[in-house]
Amino acid sequence: MIPYSYLPETERRKWQDPEAILVRIGLQPGFTFVDVGCGDGFFTLPAARIVGNKGRVYGSDIEEDAIGRLRERASQEGLVNLTLEVGEAEKLILCDGCADIVFFGIVLHDFKSAAKVLSNAKKMLKNGGKLVDLDWKKKRMESGPPLCIRFSEEEATSLIEQAGFKIEELWTNEPFHYVIIAKPCP
Domain ranges in the chain? 4-184
Q: Average pLDDT for residues 24-50, to the nearest whole number?
A: 97
Rounded mean pLDDT of the chain?
Answer: 93
Please tell me the CATH superfamily of domain 4-184, with its number: Vaccinia Virus protein VP39 (3.40.50.150)
- The pLDDT value given to residue 7: 61
pLDDT of 6 higher than 60 = no
Give residue-wise pLDDT tens across range 150-186: 999 999 999 999 999 999 999 998 888 999 999 999 8
Instruction: State what percent of residues in the chain have pLDDT above 70.
Output: 96
Give the chain's end-to-end CA distance (angstroms, integer): 42
Phi and psi at 123, nearest 5°, equal -70, -30
- Whose CA is closest to 82, among 100, 64, 66, 70? 70
Going by pLDDT thresholds of 50, 70 and 90, the confidence category of residue 132 is very high
Q: 160 — phi, psi (to 5°)?
A: -65, -45
